[in-house]
Each structure stands twice: as C-alpha cells, then as structure tokens.
Amino acid sequence: MLDKFRDECGVFGIFGHPEAANLSYLGLYALQHRGQESCGIVSSDGHKLRTHKGMGLVADVFKNDAVFQDLPGSSAIGHVRYSTAGGNDLKNAQPIVVDYARGSIAVAHNGNLVNAQEVRNDLETRGSIFSTTADTEVIIHLLAHARSDSLIDRVTEALQIVKGAYSLVFLTETRMVAVRDPHGFRPLILGKLDGAYIVASETCALDLIEAEFIREIEPGEMILVDKSGLKSFRPFAKVPTAACIFELIYFARPDSRIFGHQVYSVRKEFGRQLAREHGVEADVVIPIPDSGTPAAIGYAEETGIPFQLGLIRNHYVGRTFIEPQQSIRHFGVKIKLNPVRDEIEGKRVVVIDDSIVRGTTARKIIKMIRNAGAREIHMRISSPPTSFPCYYGIDTPTRKELISSSHTVEEINRYITADTLGYLSQEGMLKAAGACLGEEGKFCHACFSGQYPVKFPRLKSDSQLGLF
Amino acid sequence: MLDKFRDECGVFGIFGHPEAANLSYLGLYALQHRGQESCGIVSSDGHKLRTHKGMGLVADVFKNDAVFQDLPGSSAIGHVRYSTAGGNDLKNAQPIVVDYARGSIAVAHNGNLVNAQEVRNDLETRGSIFSTTADTEVIIHLLAHARSDSLIDRVTEALQIVKGAYSLVFLTETRMVAVRDPHGFRPLILGKLDGAYIVASETCALDLIEAEFIREIEPGEMILVDKSGLKSFRPFAKVPTAACIFELIYFARPDSRIFGHQVYSVRKEFGRQLAREHGVEADVVIPIPDSGTPAAIGYAEETGIPFQLGLIRNHYVGRTFIEPQQSIRHFGVKIKLNPVRDEIEGKRVVVIDDSIVRGTTARKIIKMIRNAGAREIHMRISSPPTSFPCYYGIDTPTRKELISSSHTVEEINRYITADTLGYLSQEGMLKAAGACLGEEGKFCHACFSGQYPVKFPRLKSDSQLGLF
Amino acid sequence: MLDKFRDECGVFGIFGHPEAANLSYLGLYALQHRGQESCGIVSSDGHKLRTHKGMGLVADVFKNDAVFQDLPGSSAIGHVRYSTAGGNDLKNAQPIVVDYARGSIAVAHNGNLVNAQEVRNDLETRGSIFSTTADTEVIIHLLAHARSDSLIDRVTEALQIVKGAYSLVFLTETRMVAVRDPHGFRPLILGKLDGAYIVASETCALDLIEAEFIREIEPGEMILVDKSGLKSFRPFAKVPTAACIFELIYFARPDSRIFGHQVYSVRKEFGRQLAREHGVEADVVIPIPDSGTPAAIGYAEETGIPFQLGLIRNHYVGRTFIEPQQSIRHFGVKIKLNPVRDEIEGKRVVVIDDSIVRGTTARKIIKMIRNAGAREIHMRISSPPTSFPCYYGIDTPTRKELISSSHTVEEINRYITADTLGYLSQEGMLKAAGACLGEEGKFCHACFSGQYPVKFPRLKSDSQLGLF
Amino acid sequence: MLDKFRDECGVFGIFGHPEAANLSYLGLYALQHRGQESCGIVSSDGHKLRTHKGMGLVADVFKNDAVFQDLPGSSAIGHVRYSTAGGNDLKNAQPIVVDYARGSIAVAHNGNLVNAQEVRNDLETRGSIFSTTADTEVIIHLLAHARSDSLIDRVTEALQIVKGAYSLVFLTETRMVAVRDPHGFRPLILGKLDGAYIVASETCALDLIEAEFIREIEPGEMILVDKSGLKSFRPFAKVPTAACIFELIYFARPDSRIFGHQVYSVRKEFGRQLAREHGVEADVVIPIPDSGTPAAIGYAEETGIPFQLGLIRNHYVGRTFIEPQQSIRHFGVKIKLNPVRDEIEGKRVVVIDDSIVRGTTARKIIKMIRNAGAREIHMRISSPPTSFPCYYGIDTPTRKELISSSHTVEEINRYITADTLGYLSQEGMLKAAGACLGEEGKFCHACFSGQYPVKFPRLKSDSQLGLF
C-alpha cells in the first residue's frame, strides 16, 4: 500500500549482553519500518548512560563503526521514530535521557498519551521545564517527581497519572524496565539471547539477532531486569485489552508474530474473508505491493482465481512516504509501481490493497492498470473503511483527509474509477483475527468503528478533534 | 535471488524533447537495477555537450535539482554502471565524452568487447592514449581515427573492428546514434514521447516516462536520429542472433519486455517447466524474493501446491550485492530475509530460486527454513547450472567460484543441505523461452552450455580463461 | 599563539529587526573565535521560538540558506560554543530552549557558575530532570521555579541563587533580557542598528553588521528589551568588578573594544611594558602569529629593534586547537608556521608570544627558529606565568599541565631552550591595562595570582581542584 | 590583498621514499595557496600508477587516511589547481594519468601553453581524442606520438612543439621527470629527503617535510630521476629568462625562496622602494593583510612612520576568492577585515597593498578606514599598475576588468577615494628585485609592461585578446 499511515515508533532493549549496543542496532534495523526519521541507542556500562541519536535511517545514523565504541556496556535500549514535524527535529529523537535525583534514566516510547497536555500543564505549574514536544517527556518528569523508594514503584506512580497507549522501555545505570499499558495497544515482545533478556516491538527483531522468543509482555505488565534476573509486576487495575488491529492490517512486518498472531497469516485470512464477502468473477488477482500481497494470496486461494504479481515495485524507492525528489513528483505512483502488461491485458482484474486513505493513489493505480489493458477492475480492500483518526500512536491523516469519513463506498468507487469496490466488514475483520465485534476487548478498532477504548480531552487546538 | 551476478550496464537516449536531461534521469532511475555504482547524463543543446557523472545511485548523483540546469538542451544520453573495481572509479563512469576532429561525441555502452585489449594495443602503437580501463574507450578512439565522411559510416568503420556485445548510444551536438551488435546480445528498445525518439535498455524506462513502445532495435541495426527524423541502417553482415537468455532469467525487470517477451511471463513459464521436470509432493511453494517469485508462481500453478511468501525481505536493504556494514556482515542473509514461521513449520516446502552461484547463500537460506520448522525442503532452480563465465557483459564469478562448474547436482545438494535439488534443463529453458536447443540462434546460453557465439582471444592475464 | 586556552563562548542577541536571524548569523560569524565546536540561533516571531543548532563552525551549520526561512521573526539570540567533551555533544549546544509555565524561553550563556553542581543537586531533589551537562540548564530550572510575576524579577530570583561568571541573553516570545554578572567577568556590549537593540560579547560583532556601539552593559546590570524599548535594572548588590584580563591578553579579537579598551592597543602596551621590564640587545623582533603580533609591535616600538614577520602562518590551518589529521600530527607546529630564513639567519632574535601553557609548542618553535640560523633567541611573554586554573569560564589546562604552576622561569627556559626568557610582571600587566595590583577590582587575574574573586566549593570529583 | 588574481597551480614530486604519497600530501598542503579548487596525487609502486583526485582543498580531498593505502609505492607526484570554470570540473583535475604504448604516465603542470589550441587541432586531425579542456592533455598526446626510444627524448620531442610556460612533473612506473620551460616562467625547486629527490613549486613545500633545499631547476633544464639517481639535461635552445615577477609580488608564499630570492624580503624591498618613490607625511602605515604586510613593513622602515596592524582579518574566512554565502555577500570586505579604530582615528594613514585589480575592493577598504576616523588616507601599491593580461598561467581578469588598463592613476584614485595614490614604478620594481628594465631577461613583466616574451596566436574566440 502506498502513501498511507505512518508508524509511530519501535522500541528495543537488551540487558546483560556484551554486545548490547551492536545488537540494539540490529534490532532497530529490523524495526526500521516502524519509524524512519530518527533513531537512537542509549547504552549503560553499569555506571553511566551514553547516547547516540540522529535524524535518518538506522543504517545511516550508525554507519560509522566508531559509534559503537562510544556505546560501551552490557545493556542498551533503542528507538526508531517517525517525527511528525519536518525540519531539524533531532530534539524529539528518542531515547530521551536525563539526569535526576536518583541518577540517570533513559526511555524509549511507542504509543501516545491522550492526557499528555493536561499533565504537562500541571507539571509546568510546579516549575518543570520541557525540552521536547514529545509526550514521552511527561513520563520522565512524573518519574522524577515520584517519591517511592523503588524504581518499579516510581514508574508505577508515574504511569498511574498518564492515560493512553504506551509500550515503554526504561534504562538506568543498572536496570531495565519494560511496560505495556493496561489496554495493550502496542505490541511488546520478550526474548532471550545467550542469557540476556530482550524486549522489542516485534518478533522480527528477535529473529534477526537469532534470539529466542519467550512470550509477549502482557497488557498492564511491567518487567524489571537487573543482575539478579527478571521479575514481572502487575501494578495496574485490569481493563479490557485493546490491541491495535491496524498493526495486523498494515504496520507490523508480516514475518512478525504479535498479539498471538503470525501477521502474514492473519493478512491472508483477511483476504480469504474478503473473498467470502466480496467475491467476483475475474481472471487474475493482483496485489498492490507489498502490503497488499498476503491478502491477495488469501483472496486468490479462497476464490481459485490465479494470483499474479501484476504490479512490479521499483526496489530503489524507499518506503512509500519517503518522497522522491521535487522534479519527479508528478510521476506519482509510476516511480514506485509498473504494471506487467501481459498479465493484465484483456483480463478481469481483482486488485487488493490493505486500505484506502485519501483515494488519490488508488485512483492513479487503477488508471495505470486500465492503461495496461485490463477489461474490468475490481478493487478489494482487506480492512473496513478508515473513518476515524487514531489517538493511540498512529499518525493518521485528519478526518478531513480520510475519504471514508465523508464518503460512501459508492462515492469512493466513483472517485477511484474501479468497476467495483468492496471493503472487508468490521465483523469479518475481527472474525479473521479471532475476535468478535461487540465482545469486550482483544482489539482496538477505533479507526474503523469510532469506539475509543480510552477517553481523551477535547483539545481546542487540535484540528483533528474539531470534527467531533 | 541474493548475492549473484552483477548487471553490467543500462543505457538511455532521447532526441528532440525539451526536458531531455530530466527524462534521462527518470529513464536511468527505471534502469537502476542494471548498474548501481555510477551513473551519468550528457546533454546537448545543439552546440555543446555537457556532462554530469558521479559514483552512486541515480537518485543520489542527481539529487540536486541544480544539476539539471547544467544539462540544457533537447537531447541527452545516460548510463548506469556496475563498476568492477572498488575505490574511486569515477574515471570509468559513463557516458564517456571526448572532443575530436569532428567536434564532441559522447557514448554509453552496455556489453563487453572480446577483442578490446588487442585493439587497444594497436591503437596505442599508433600513438593513442587511454584515460580509462573501459573497453568503451576503444570504440571512441576507433571513431576518431575513422576516415569516412558521414557519422554513420564512421561508426560503422569503428564497429567493424570490434567484436563482442554492445548496445550503444552515441550523442553528438546534433545527432543521436543507437546500435545493437549483430548478435544482439543485449537488449535495446525504441520508443517515442511527444514526437521525440527514445532508446533504452528495457521497456520499463519507457513506462516510467509514459513513452510509447515502438519496437526493439534489431540485432545489427543502427539508428540515426537528427532533426530530420529517424533513419535505420544495416551496416553489418547478418549473423545468428544470440540474445542473452540470462536477461530473461535474472537481469531484466519483470515488468519489461525484451527480446519479444514479457519478462515476468517467461519467468513464470520457467517455473511451470521446472515443475514438469522436477515435480515433488509438497505443502507449499515459496520463492526466494524477489527474483524467484515469478518462477515460484509458475511452479505453484503447474503443480497446484499453494504459493506463499514464506520469506520476507527487509525493504531497507538495497539490492543484494550492495554489502551491508562491516559490523553486521556475519548476519548474512538474515539481514535480508526472514521466514514466516506459520507458513513453514511442519510443512514440506518447495523453495524456488533463479540460480545458484557459489551455493553459500542457498545453504544459509535452507538452514533458515529448516530452523523455521520445515519438514522437507526441495530446492528448485529455474535455470540450468551456471558452469561457464560470460564474456559478453555480465560480471559472473570466475569458474572457480561457480559451484556448478566443478560439482554435480548431487554434490551441490549435499552442500546446500536440501532434501532434493532440481535444476531446469537447458532444453526446458529454451523451450519455455520459445526456442530450441541445437537450433541456430535466438539466444546465447554460453553460461550454461559453454557454446560461445563469438570467439575471444585467450588472454594470459585473465584467470577466468586459464581454466579452459 | 598556538595550542593554548579555549574560549568558552560568545553570545549575540537582537530585538526588533526584520532580519534578526540573518544578523545573528553574521554576529556569530564575527564571534567565531570564542567557540568553534557548536553554534545555534533561536528566533521569535512574537508567538513561537524556533531553533537551529549544530556541531561545527557558523558558516557550516548555517550554510544552507533555507535554514533562515525556518527562523522567522524580528528577534533572535545566538551562541557559539567550545564544547569540552568530544563526540556527539549536540545536546549541550546553545541556546537552550524550553517550554515552562509562562511559555517558551531560550538562553545563551558565556561564563561558568561555580556553584552549579550544588544548585543542581538541590533542584534534582525537588524533582527536576536535566537533559544537558551544561551549568546553563541550572539557570533555566531556577527561572521555571521562580514565583515572581515579572520576567525581570524571575530572572533576578534565579540569578541570586547562582554564583560565578555569566554574560547571559534570554529570549522569550516577546522579550529579550541581557545580564552581566555582578563581577562582570565576561564582556557584554550594547549596540543598535536601524532602531533595533543588539547585545554581543564583543564589538567586532557590531562592526560586521554596521551597528552602532552604544556602551558596555555594566557588571550587575540587567537589560530588558521589548516592543516598548529598552529598560535597565540593577538588581544585584554592588561588588568589586573582576573583568577577565585574559580576554585582553588572548581571547578577544584585537579589533574589539571591551572593558573600555581597544584590545589591540592594550596588547601593544603589554609589549611596550614587556620591553621596559625585559629589554635585550637584538637585531629583530618577531611575533608568534597571530596572537603575539600586537605585543611584538609594541616591543619593537619601545626598543627600536626592527619588527619582522619572521614566522609565516599557513592560512589553511584553522585556529590552533583544531587538530590536523592523524597522519600529519607529528609535523606539529611546522604545519602551521614556517620561518622566513633571510630575516632570521645570523640574527639575534626576540620572539614574542602572549603566553606559555605546557611549553611544548614554544620549545618546538624555538628549535625551528634556531634551525633557521638564529644566533640568539630571546623569548618574551606578554603576560605573567599562568599558574592557576580558571573557574569562570575559560577552559584552561589543569594545574598539572600548566608548566608555570610547578616550574620557575629559569626551569621553563631550560626546557624551551631559548637563550633568555622574560615574562611580563603582574604589576606591569595591570599597569598597562590601566589598573594596579592590590587595588580592589577592575580585573580578575586569578589565573596569574591565584586570587579568586568568587569562592567555589571544593568538589571531590574535580581533578583540577585536587591540587589545592 | 583581496579578490585578485588566481594562482594557477602548484606541483610536487618525490622519487624513492617509502612515504611518497604521504609526503606529497604534505607538500601539496604547503602549496595550497597556489590552487584551491581541486588536487590530486598519483603514486607508483614500480609497476602500476594509482590516482586519487578530487574537488576541494587538500585537507578535504585527502581527509580519509584510507586514501593513502590506495596510493602505495615509493614515488608520487601531486598537483593543486585553480579550475577556471565552475561546476563539476573534476575531469580537469590533475595529475592527468593515461595509458599509452609504453605503459602508463602521469603529469602535473603549472603554467599555460600559448599554442595549445593549434597543436590540439593538429592532433585531432590525426585522430586524437580529448577528454579534458586542459592544455596539459596536449602534452600527453604529443608524448604518446613521439617516436624516440628514451623517455627523455620523447618528452623533449613533445615539448619542442609547445610554446609558453610550463613547470612540469611526469611520473611513469619507474621514473620521474621534471622540466622547466626555457624561459623559466614558473618556479620549480629541487630538494632531497632521506636520499629521495623532490621537486616542488616552492621551497615552503620542502620546509614542511623538513627536506633539504638543493637548488632551483633552471630554465630549460630537464631532470630525470630513477633508481640510478638524478640526471640533468638541457635539451632546449637557450633563450632569455622570463621568471614571472608576479610570483614575487603576490603568488608565492613569503617564506618561500624562488628565483633566487626570499619572497618576504623582496616584498619588503618593494615597500622600501615604494617609500622612496611615494613618501608622504603620515602617522601610521597599515597593510591590507596579509599580502600587503611585508611591503608595509618595508615602507614603515624606510619612512620611519610606525607600522600597525590597523585592519584585522577574520581567520575563519578562507582565502579571499572563496566567496562567502549568498546571503552575506553584500557585506563584502567587512566579512574579511575590520579596522582597529584606536590605531586609525584622527590619524594620517598610509595603506599598503600589493596591487589593485578592479578597484572595487580598495574603494570599500578606504571607505572602511575613513569611517574608522582616519584624517587622511594615502594608498600605496607595491607594484606598478596591472594593465595587461597574462598568457603564461595566471588567471588575470580580462583587460576590461583591469582598472589600470583604461584609467590613469589620477582617475583610479578618484574612484577609490583615497587622498593620494602611488604605485611602485616598473623600474623601481625591477631594481628592488635585483634586475633592470630594458635589460634582457630575468623577469617577465608583461602584465605591467605589455612586453610578452613568448608570442601567441590571436584567437578569435578569446575575448581577452579581442582588445589588442
């Protein structure tokens, strides 16, 4: 799928391994799809935290081997981030590292707090200063103000004040703490390598470094790792789980397992269910690569229509939201995709994508397929219409930009110029992911249903919310 | 397919379009897979040739828009290149541009001359000096020494001396000439946009700029484009065609049409034929992405075994021969590929790739699939064993490194540790590509058969040849 | 003079000029000698502060014109800094910008607080977190905790807690505040351009932008500039002035006027006084360029011995503490200086420098002059022996490294191998600068006399202080 | 002196030293003032030439130590160059390296051939191709066409065809050849280090690497260095010497000795002679740094008026013709120079510079000095009016731009707004340099006198020549 949602972040942590920084680098490399604009690693040698952060891809920020000599120690945490504002936003790069009364602490955060501004206002009134615009800094301040004696209690004290989505990894000189918010919006995985504990946003980070997958950190669980080993805590009141279903639809890598699912297989099942709901007579099923591919395979399997790679992706284009140069902008999707004419010409084509945001890209692709000689084009989307913005860590377009928030499927189809258009139903989506609509818990599907599991203040300044 | 052959080059030319340099940039962008180490564009405004060349990818060398202001004019040629030697090899970047008695001339070359050294020795004896190590420079010298009055005759005079593979584009202040060698080893395509003639190595370059495909330039054909239009010449004696079948197997983009074939469809047919020759009972067919994918789809279609993307490719790794950083080298293929465990665990897996070079990568991938829980692994290769080096423009490993040149299929299989291994036969390959073994012409299959269509001198200094 | 003391910082501020950021850039460019490792500018458009900071020289960090479009508004402050630690110290680059209860505030600081660690400990106990290792961050925290209603009162409240040297410029959305500490250790100048008020560390910044010099900001004075104009405050108890005499000896640019002196002329007077104290019969006076030049001219004038540029400086070497490449390191001063043999050979040479730190450089230069054929070499230093470290903002070597702190003049001379060595006396230095030893105030000469005007805690962790 | 003439080039060569490339780097570093836009080194290990060239300063092009590992061998030659055209002119960077019938050869050239175009036309007619626009390439072609058996004879054969200025260093796999043209326009020095012979444009290159100065290579002399030692040849007919006097006035470093002179001392003597010719009553003599400094010292010595550094140069500005950023362009000389007000205010000031080109810079400096409060300003120039362009290797402005070629001294003075203006006379200049006007030989003073020692063709396309 092209030009769509932006992953917010990926986190990684490792405790007790002589190559902590190097393995964090590799872990972040595997999580690169979760954030491409900045990244960083903080290591501890037991006495002192050291940081290297920068704007850009992991392979670029850490391209100089010397960097790793400046990150000694056997524990480290890392972060990849999509920064929402342009320009020099290095100050918002994570992990954030600070000194406070108990020493130094670093934090890496995936998610979004819905009451960050309120808490920030309170803290400022008490004399706190803020160096970044990230909601994560609020957590650090709360931690510094916490009065409990133990680190776990202080983290708990701080997190009891904030609301929203967070998968967090903290590093102090001598300890690592990982927490997943009570709803479990974002994934967080526990693994092990050579006796060292590892946490990561997705299992693909474990795979790359050949670490063993232990289990997922559970919603509301807090893990403390220090030299005496790993301890698990449950400091929060139990609430229904609300795992972000969009991770399964689009964000996570298909080779990852999160929320108890192999992502690839769920996507394929979305495609199968889509076929059951919106079957059509056709000659070929083609995906919009690469995000539409597993669903297209599922659709083809269910219908028996042959699957073909009818659109070839240019390997030299980065992920879709990395814009090409000014001068070639008007070439739009052509710079990224090109049809295989022989597989399309004269045929009835089912085109599978995982979602439609503004509709402009889908429209261009359909035109491209039409020009390649398709007789009929049936667009099928392996998720329901995305009508509501996310407040839990996904940088969705505003409602104004989401074509589904103001147009019917019929209208959208007219705009994108397909012969027919079918979306996966909410029920079908949840069923394919092993859950039921109406049932409490398991998934957050607010972006489709508008049912937000955690309430949030109506901020005047936020144009997204102005629509409600 | 990973870490294999290196494309030698891609060429592009356009005559008579106000955005000549810009379109050349886009054309090279589409041809990037044919050469990633250096690139360049030469433009003409009717009076003067201007050049911009650099080491690196097209998007990097031309990232500054200002570059295009230094490339004015309505005609331009461009080149992407894989440079064989490391270090600062900018001097070998093409197009090569020189001044000579008739003015200025630029040339972009895809292919390899087998008698370059001999001709070079002759020329040096006559007082010529050489600034590059590229065989292309020989052509320029011959052109400068040619005595004929017309450009076409001079080009002919020069090319009658050289032997081997060449798809060439020349640019002078006022004319463009494109030639394909008599055997037609390398592809060369003719297109048109807004009245301007275009030549390119593959049709994908036309597609990106939305140019119309006219036809392929034929083996032995020479095209002259100037302000009075296009003229075609046949200055060479007719010889059997010898189009490089490896272009269809690996090099060309699947969305391109070359040698009269849609590349994707031929690759799928290779997979079908492979299934006919080496069928096996299995649960799933998975490709080694991306080069093995079309053949895997064909294999799955023919056998009815489900096709799955069982290996996920990391999008942030460049094409396979671009080495990752030193520090992560030992992670080998893991940095590039990761298995989808649920689609492999407990299953009998057919793994499809387009070729095996040294066998080391295949061995690692099979180990990775085995670790993901495969019950059986059947490796199938959609081309015959590659036992002979290429002398016509593909940078193959030496015979010593080609595992097939010294090992039987049985031995190779023992090395890569698959349960079974099957290669497409030479007959099957040719049949799938619409030709027959033994029949004169159509394809060069020397890398498989050792039957070299153009003889070459036995150079003492060339270790590749020492084996013969 | 080579490889010596490191300037700590330079500050600049402008309020009420449409080209605020651009003029700040030029101001910092003129102050570059005060700090070469990082720099930054913060601008305000009346509503929002915007920042651009980076490691490196001003001309490099701001080399892209687009940067200035991201710094809109009619007020701005800037900073150049020498960062004491290596590596990625961007987090310590200034101006520091934070959000707090009253909005946003930025600060640029030249100087050093002697009780920063104590105050920081207090603040941390109260829940403050620290993002940098700079003492400046302490001031920001104190400001955020201050309870007064007006900005001036809050700044006063904050500064009454800290001790030491500070010339500070603050910028809020709508106001600029400049303060010089009660002792006036560091310079701070007030100027005006097109109706806009300007503050800067030295007058050379005013000269470059053709601003008018108004007066120096006085020790203990606080200036507030907003849309209603400039107001001056005197919030601190009066204490004796302690202007850093090393600014006159080495740091400030000779074309600047600070502390009521033209720097060039004072340096020349140091040279004249040095001649009175340590005259010698000789044929030529040569400076160690460029810092020794004015004193050498003064020495030559007073003695009547001809002045010559006997050592030529390589213009392509940066300021002396910017190390050349590893591979040429052993060439030491030769890479920077080369003798003019004809002006030295067979002559009795007086060599003038402004100070001697470790003695190693002086030793090499004397050897170089000896090799060029000098008959006698008389080294003369235009300041007294530097025996004590500075705690007010100059990054002096530790006592261990200061050759004068543990060796007599005689011993030093034996080490550097001159024929004779003479230092300017403390009395002579003060007299030349228009002050007297013993008299309270005017100058801080602690690095020569050990008389520290502001007491400081004996920090165990500070190896410099371990010597006391 | 600011914004004036551009040095054309500097050359360096060393034969028989294990650190040949490293020492070449240092030699070029010392010769950086002779060319700042590109540089390069070619080394030989006895079998193969290897090259590293790039755009930019020596310290930047060779900043990576790894570069030197790619330049093995005990002989090397190097070049610094000012490239006349903007943009990507890397193709013109030297040394030029080619392969020809006898092996490989590299050449570095300082000077300019006046019949390059004619010879090039001849060569092209014979089938030669040209890759650069440098006249040096002509020499290489002639060398390749030469039929003699020995290298010395071939070089002689080639050089007998060209006319003009050349100090050349050639390197083959096993030999180094250095030649100075019969007139000896450009300097070329012979030195020795650890038994290895060295040639360089100026002695400052020897000084830096602590090599011994042996002697200058004489006009018309050719030196061959190989493993059997050094041999000297005199292959050309004797003609009068015509050493470029502008080297003494402006180009060469003051610490160098060329043409039998210490440059600094000659410049001081120019100043003394200038005082004799154009004395004036004044309070202070100040140079325009740095090129005017030695002459100012001489002027002050002769007149007894005190010398002061009344204009301070910003060390962070590169050599004068390296333009600052667009946005600060209008600040002109202020970005480079700032007056020391106390040394100027109320005084009668003599300002010394080495030359005036367009007059615009002098005009701005005089305005700056006037603004600093000077009572009178007497401009004195330590060379005669520069009225004629150079054809022997100095990139002078065209006659149109040379203010002296069309204006009297009186007119120039009105334009630059000094109170009085005085130029050194041609007779005075020659006398100070130990020669006489009218006398045959020693110096070329064509840029002052229009007496060109070597005739040149009147090229229609050359706008400079259009004026004659």
Test D65 with C208 for CB contact under 8 angstroms. Answer: no
Rounded average pLDDT over B203-208: 96
Give the nearest chain C residue to A53 (CA atoms). C88
Cβ atoms of D316 and D342 within 8 Å: the answer is no
List the one residue out of B49, B22, B163, B149 whose CA is nearest residue B108: B49
From 3.40.50.1820, 3.40.50.300, 3.40.720.10, 3.40.50.2020, which CATH number describes the C263-433+463-467 domain? 3.40.50.2020
Q: How far apart are CA D399 and CA D286, in angstroms?
A: 29
Neighbours of A4 (CB within 10 A): 19
- pLDDT at residue B281 greater than cutoff 50: yes
Cβ atoms of B299 and B269 within 8 Å: the answer is no
- pLDDT at residue B169 greater than cutoff 80: yes
**Which two tokens mark C304?**
């009547």
pLDDT-based confidence at B66, cuts 50/70/90? Answer: confident
Collect all residues of chain B within an 8 Å Cβ-Cβ radius of residue D130. Answer: 98-100
Q: How far apart are CA C91 and CA A31, in angstroms?
A: 25
Partners of C76 in the β-ladder: C14, C43
pLDDT-based confidence at A83, cuts 50/70/90? Answer: low
Of A207, A326, A334, the CB nearest to B338: A207
Rounded average pLDDT over C22-32: 94
pLDDT digits (tens, 9 = 90+) for A267-295: 999 999 999 999 999 999 999 998 899 99
Cβ atoms of C329 and C224 within 8 Å: the answer is no
- pLDDT at residue C92 greater than cutoff 80: yes
- pLDDT at residue B111 greater than cutoff 60: yes
Tell which of A2, A206, A207 to mutate to test the B interface (max B CBs under 10 Å). A207
Collect all residues of chain C within an 8 Å Cβ-Cβ radius of residue A96. Answer: 131
CB environment B261-272: b (16+ within 10 A), e (fewer): bbbbbbbbbbbb
**Which two tokens mark A200?**
């990561």
What is B353-408 written as a DSSP string? Answer: ES--SSSHHHHHHHHHHHHTT-SEEEEEESS----S--SSS-BPPPTTT-HHHHS-
Q: How far apart are CA A88 and CA C42, in angstroms?
A: 13
For chain C, which chains pass the contact test of at least 3 CB pairs under 8 Å? A, D
D294 touches chain C (CB under 8 A): yes
Give the nearest chain A residue to B337 (CA atoms). A208
Average pLDDT in chain A: 89
pLDDT at position D463: 36
Partners of A109 in the β-ladder: A168
Contacts of A188 (CB under 8 A, 6+ apart): A11, A110, A167, A178, A180, A199, A200, A201, A216, A217
What number of CA atoms fall less than 13 Å from residue B52's CA on the CB side? Answer: 24
Residues 144-173 of A with CB under 8 A from C: 144-145
Q: Per CATH, is A261-437 categorized as 3.30.300.100?
A: no
Q: How far apart are CA B175 and CA B74, in angstroms?
A: 11
Test D30 with C314 for CB contact under 8 angstroms. Answer: yes
State the catalytic residues of C: 9
Collect all residues of chain D within an 8 Å Cβ-Cβ radius of residue B92. Answer: none
B207 touches chain A (CB under 8 A): yes
Tell which of D107, D131, D161 to mutate to test the B interface (max B CBs under 10 Å). D131
From 3.40.630.40, 1.20.1090.10, 3.40.50.2020, 3.20.20.220, which CATH number describes the B257-467 domain? 3.40.50.2020
pLDDT at position D218: 97
Cβ atoms of A30 and A416 within 8 Å: the answer is no
- pLDDT at residue D461 greater than cutoff 50: no
- pLDDT at residue D77 greater than cutoff 90: yes
What are phi and psi for residue C73, nearest 5 degrees? 115, 165
Collect all residues of chain C within an 8 Å Cβ-Cβ radius of residue A53. Answer: 88
Collect all residues of chain B within an 8 Å Cβ-Cβ radius of residue A80. Answer: none
Lowest mean pLDDT among B124-133, C441-450, D454-463: D454-463
- pLDDT at residue C330 greater than cutoff 90: no
Classify residue D55 by burial, with Cβ atoms within 10 Å: 0-12, 13-18, 19+.
middle
**Which two tokens mark C297?**
């001219």
- pLDDT at residue C90 greater than cutoff 70: yes
C239 touches chain A (CB under 8 A): no
C64 touches chain A (CB under 8 A): no
> What CATH number was assigned to the domain covering residues A9-239?
3.60.20.10
**pTM for the model:** 0.89
pLDDT digits (tens, 9 = 90+) for B116-152: 999 999 999 999 999 988 889 999 999 999 999 999 9
Rounded average pLDDT over B94-105: 95
Classify residue B318 by burial, with Cβ atoms within 10 Å: 0-12, 13-18, 19+.
middle
Highest mean pLDDT among A385-389, B347-351, C386-390, D290-294: B347-351
- pLDDT at residue B74 greater than cutoff 90: yes
C314 DSSP assignment: P
pLDDT digits (tens, 9 = 90+) for D189-204: 999 999 999 999 999 9
What is B80-120 written as a DSSP string? Answer: EE--SS-S--GGG-SSEEEEETTEEEEEEEEEEETTHHHHH
Of A101, A127, A130, the CB nearest to C124: A101
Of D70, D87, D97, the CB nearest to B87: D70
Residues 86-145 of B with CB under 8 A from D: 87-88, 90-91, 96-101, 124-131, 140-141, 144-145
The more confident residue out of D369 and A315 is: D369
D52 touches chain B (CB under 8 A): yes
**Which two tokens mark B75?**
């005609």
Helices A263-277 and A293-303: crossing angle in degrees, nearest 10, is: 50
- pLDDT at residue D460 greater than cutoff 60: no
For chains D and A, tell me whether 3 or more CB atom pairs sit within 8 A of each other: no
**Which two tokens mark D391?**
């054809």
**Which two tokens mark B87?**
């270090």
Q: How far apart are CA A146 and CA A158, in angstroms?
A: 6
What is A327-383 written as a DSSP string? Answer: GGGGGGGGGTEEE-GGGTTT-EEEEEES--SSSHHHHHHHHHHHHTT-SEEEEEESS
pLDDT-based confidence at A334, cuts 50/70/90? Answer: confident
Collect all residues of chain D within an 8 Å Cβ-Cβ radius of residue B130. Answer: 98-100
Rounded average pLDDT over C433-460: 80
Rounded average pLDDT over D202-212: 96
List the one residue out of B142, B87, B93 whose CA is nearest residue B113: B142
> Can you say whether the dihedral through the CA atoms of D206, D208, D209, D212 is positive or negative?
positive
Test D100 with B141 for CB contact under 8 angstroms. Answer: no
pLDDT digits (tens, 9 = 90+) for B174-186: 999 999 999 999 9
Share of chain D above pLDDT 90, in %: 76
Q: ipTM value of the model? A: 0.90
**Which two tokens mark A130?**
């803020």
Lowest mean pLDDT among A163-177, A396-410, B248-262, C29-43: A396-410
Q: Min CA distance, B434 vs chain A (Å)?
A: 16
User: How far lies B414's CA from each of B366, B404, D17, in Å?
Assistant: 12, 13, 54
Q: How far apart are CA D51 and CA D3, in angstroms?
A: 32
What number of CA atoms fall less than 13 Å from residue D198's CA on the CB side? Answer: 33
Rounded average pLDDT over D257-263: 95
What number of CA atoms fall less than 13 Å from residue B45's CA on the CB side? Answer: 9
**What CATH architecture applies to the domain D267-315+331-433?**
3-Layer(aba) Sandwich (3.40)
Cβ atoms of B432 and B272 within 8 Å: the answer is yes
pLDDT-based confidence at B421, cuts 50/70/90? Answer: very high
List the one residue out of C321, C339, C272 whose CA is nearest residue C301: C272
Lowest mean pLDDT among A382-386, B258-262, D319-323, D354-358: D319-323
Whether a cis peptide bond, with omega within 30° of 0, leads into A290 is: yes
State the catalytic residues of B: 9
Rounded average pLDDT over C310-324: 62
Contacts of A410 (CB under 8 A, 6+ apart): none
Cα radius of gyration rounded to whole Å, chain A: 23
pLDDT at position C457: 67
Q: How far apart are CA D191 and CA D185, in angstroms?
A: 19
Cβ atoms of C169 and C77 within 8 Å: the answer is yes
pLDDT-based confidence at B314, cuts 50/70/90? Answer: confident
- pLDDT at residue D319 greater than cutoff 60: no
Q: How far apart are CA C260 and CA D109, in angstroms?
A: 54
Q: How far apart are CA B79 and CA B92, in angstroms?
A: 11
C91 DSSP assignment: G
Among all chains, which residue has been given the structure tokens 């050239």?
A: D109
pLDDT digits (tens, 9 = 90+) for C49-83: 999 999 888 988 988 778 898 999 999 999 999 75
pLDDT at position A466: 26
Give the nearest chain B residue to D119 (CA atoms). B101
| Residue ranges of domains in chain A | 9-239, 261-437
Give the sheet arrangement for strand D376-381, strand by strand.
D284-287, D348-353, D376-381, D420-423
For chain B, which chains pass the contact test of at least 3 CB pairs under 8 Å? A, D
Collect all residues of chain B within an 8 Å Cβ-Cβ radius of residue A25. Answer: 327-328
Highest mean pLDDT among A14-23, A131-140, B318-327: A14-23
State the catalytic residues of A: 9
List the one residue out of D191, D189, D185 whose CA is nearest residue D166: D185
Test D264 with C340 for CB contact under 8 angstroms. Answer: yes
Strand, coil or helix: D250 = helix
pLDDT at position B371: 95
B205 DSSP assignment: H
Collect all residues of chain A within an 8 Å Cβ-Cβ radius of residue B189. Answer: none
pLDDT at position A458: 56
